[in-house]
């Protein structure tokens, strides 16, 4: 069939050849293509599907909201309720605003930080990712770039020195570097940047688009006991429906129109369907979601995979936290991000191609991306390990990792 998508795709990521191009459904740990081939999904909606596909409670909430209407241009009770809920859960969230994508939320947060400090420059992490807007994209061919200055994750000395220069409106980072090898912060790193930001009146922004609600219902900031000035949330918050939020200190947040002068708008901001689902998702996270079990599962699964890799002489590092993990071939550890470790992207791509083709297991298609585990993966752990065993054996025989 002719494909009229630009570049034959709707994504910048080059998917391996053996990946299906015609997914039509998802259920639990699986997605299915138009010919009803079932694939294990290890990417889970870029992390948005904390519970896996078609979670029964979410499906019920969404159906119920559909019967009430799904879009209004007037203030809703849902948005007030969700703001109150986030305020009660996320330490920095004195005030909350809803937007639609992670990119929007980050753009608004940076805009607010610039107004608050009167400074323009942004400091970010080398290899990090914060969305598609011009302030943050480092590898685009557009001409209108205002690139952030970069520092290294877990490099206290370099990062603190840069912040102390007092040049920056904000320092934005993921508290766990989910977008580049899933690196947890070294003890003291977040504390050191918090202090430097406080001392220099630099706005500290935690981008919790991926890690918020996935690490804990109180956000990664509460897990590490470091409270940023602003934080962005998305993905897991609404179980796969489009929703994001900017939250943070009252004096920064009240700068947004209409209480202040900083522009913040968006037709679909605070979509009632997404917010209804977010309220249900958060309730389930507070009551039934097995955070501890997922953490133990990921830890054991990682150890089992490393053992299999050793058995076949495949050089592999695995890092992760809670239900996220990253595979890096060709190295054994890394602290600043998987790119810095010279992890082998080609080996990863070959492996992903093989796993999809031979075992119908879909890994994230790019080596910097994160595997997201859902409770439904626990029941198929043995099948996964068996397939990875064969995969490492194949890799060992066919490539140099």
Q: Name the site residues for ligand PMP (rule: CB under 6 A).
A: 46, 101-103, 106, 129-132, 174, 179, 207, 209-210, 234
The smaller minimum CB distance to ligand PMP, of residues 48 and 197, is found at 48
- Nearer to ligand PMP by Cβ, of 212 and 375: the residue is 212
Question: Count of CB atoms within 10 A of residue 4's CB?
Answer: 6
> Measured from the CB of residue 12, what is the shortest distance to ligand PMP in angstroms?
11
For ligand PMP, which is the closer residue by CB, 323 or 401? 323
CB of 6 to ligand PMP, least distance (A): 18
When the beta carbons of 219 and 391 are compared against ligand PMP, the nearer one is 219
Distance CA 346, CA 355 (A): 14
d(CA 377, CA 104): 31
> What span, in angstroms and rounded, lies between the C-alpha atoms of 262 and 253?
9
The residue whose Cβ lies closest to ligand PMP is 102
- Compute, in degrees rounded to 10, the torsion defined by CA atoms 142, 148, 153, 157: 150
Task: Compute the least distance from the CB of residue 369 to ligand PMP, in Å.
Answer: 9
Q: Is the peptide bond before 23 cis (omega within 30 degrees of 0)?
A: no
- The nearest distance, CB 308 to ligand PMP, in angstroms, is 29
- Closest approach, Cβ 50 to ligand PMP, in A, equals 14
- State the minimum distance, in angstroms, from the CB of residue 71 to ligand PMP: 19
- Nearer to ligand PMP (CB atom), residue 245 or residue 308: 245
Q: In the complex with ligand PMP, which residue's Cβ is closer, 46 or 268?
A: 46
CA distances to 178, 351, 358 from 399, rounded to whole Å, are 27, 9, 16
Our CB check for ligand PMP shows the closer of 190 and 316 to be 190
Least Å distance, CB 51 to ligand PMP, is 19
Query: Nearer to ligand PMP by C-beta: 102 or 219?
Result: 102
- Name the residue nearer to ligand PMP (CB basis): 58 or 174: 174
What is the rounded distance in angstroms from the CA atom of residue 204 to the CA atom of residue 79? 25
Closest CB to ligand PMP among 130 and 312? 130
Q: Least distance from C-beta 142 to ligand PMP, angstroms?
A: 16
Tell me the closest approach of the beta carbon of residue 337 to ligand PMP, in angstroms.
Answer: 13
Least distance CB 102 / ligand PMP (angstroms)? 2
Judge contact between 347 and 395, C-beta under 8 A: yes
Return d(Cα 151, Cα 174) in angstroms, integer: 13
């Amino acid at each position: 069939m002719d494909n009229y998508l630009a570049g034959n795709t709707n994504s910048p990521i080059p998917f391996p050849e053996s990946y299906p191009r015609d997914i039509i459904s998802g259920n639990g740990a699986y997605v299915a293509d138009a010919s009803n081939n079932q694939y294990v999904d290890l990417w889970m909606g870029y992390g948005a599907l904390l519970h896996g596909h078609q979670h029964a409670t979410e499906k019920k909430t969404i159906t119920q909201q559909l019967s009430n209407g799904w879009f209004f241009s007037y203030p809703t009770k849902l948005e007030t309720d969700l703001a109150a809920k986030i305020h009660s859960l996320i330490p920095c969230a004195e005030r909350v605003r809803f937007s639609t994508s992670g990119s929007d939320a980050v753009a608004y947060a940076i805009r607010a930080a610039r107004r608050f400090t009167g400074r323009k420059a942004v400091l970010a992490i080398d290899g990090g990712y914060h969305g598609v807007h011009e302030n943050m994209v480092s590898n685009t061919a557009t001409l209108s770039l205002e690139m952030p200055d970069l520092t290294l994750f877990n490099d206290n000395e370099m990062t603190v020195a840069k912040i102390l220069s007092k040049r920056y409106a904000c320092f934005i980072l993921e508290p766990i570097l989910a977008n580049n090898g899933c690196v947890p912060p070294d003890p003291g790193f977040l504390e050191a940047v918090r202090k430097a930001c406080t001392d220099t009146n630099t706005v500290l922004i935690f981008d919790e688009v991926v890690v918020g609600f996935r690490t804990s219902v109180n956000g990664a900031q509460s897990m590490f006991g470091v409270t940023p000035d602003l934080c962005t949330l998305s993905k897991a918050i609404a179980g796969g429906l489009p929703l994001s939020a900017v939250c943070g200190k009252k004096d920064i947040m009240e700068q947004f129109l209409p209480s202040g002068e900083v522009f913040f708008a968006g037709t679909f901001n605070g979509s009632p369907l997404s917010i209804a689902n977010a309220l249900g998702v958060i309730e389930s996270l507070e009551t039934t979601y097995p955070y501890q079990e997922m953490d133990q599962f990921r830890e054991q699964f990682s150890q089992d995979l490393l053992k299999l890799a050793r058995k076949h002489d495949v050089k592999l590092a695995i890092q992760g936290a809670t239900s996220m993990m990253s595979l890096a071939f060709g190295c054994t550890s890394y602290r600043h991000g998987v790119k810095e470790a010279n992890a082998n992207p080609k080996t990863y791509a070959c492996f992903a191609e093989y796993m999809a083709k031979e075992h119908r297991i879909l890994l994230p298609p790019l080596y910097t991306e994160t595997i997201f585990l859902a409770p439904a993966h626990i029941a198929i752990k043995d099948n996964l390990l068996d397939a990875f065993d064969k995969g490492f054996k194949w890799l060992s025989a066919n490539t140099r990792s």
